[in-house]
Amino acid sequence: MKEKTKSQADRKLIKEVFATDPVDWARYPDGKLSFISLTGQKFSYTEEQFENIREAVRQERAAAKKLSSNKIASKSKKEKPTDLSATIYPPK
């Protein structure tokens, strides 16, 4: 029987998906990934669960990025430069 492993790749994956640096983590022979958060809570996910969470986080980040870029584009369209010279120096 293969033993559990602890790789930096799994640590990086946990940080990417959950935005936290785990206190400890382990990958089990059946593919389950477990980690302990900074609050002391232990989380365990099967490979399928982890991939589902990873995909949901990816979609959420993509939607947030799209919303942010839409707000910037909308704001720049509303902010048309005004020509104050006509106000300061009215035409004769």
List C-alpha distances in Å: 45 to 15, 31, 49, 83, 87.
15, 9, 6, 60, 65
Predicted confidence (pLDDT) per residue in 43-85, tens digit: 999 999 999 999 999 999 888 888 777 766 666 665 555 555 5
**Residue 19 lies in domain:** 8-88
Within a domain: 1: no
Domain count of the fold of the chain: 1
Within a domain: 32: yes
Total length of the chain: 92
Predicted confidence (pLDDT) per residue in 1-50, tens digit: 589 999 999 999 999 999 999 999 999 999 999 999 999 999 999 999 99
Predicted confidence (pLDDT) per residue in 21-32, tens digit: 999 999 999 999
pLDDT at site 81:
56
Within a domain: 35: yes
Within a domain: 3: no
Within a domain: 19: yes
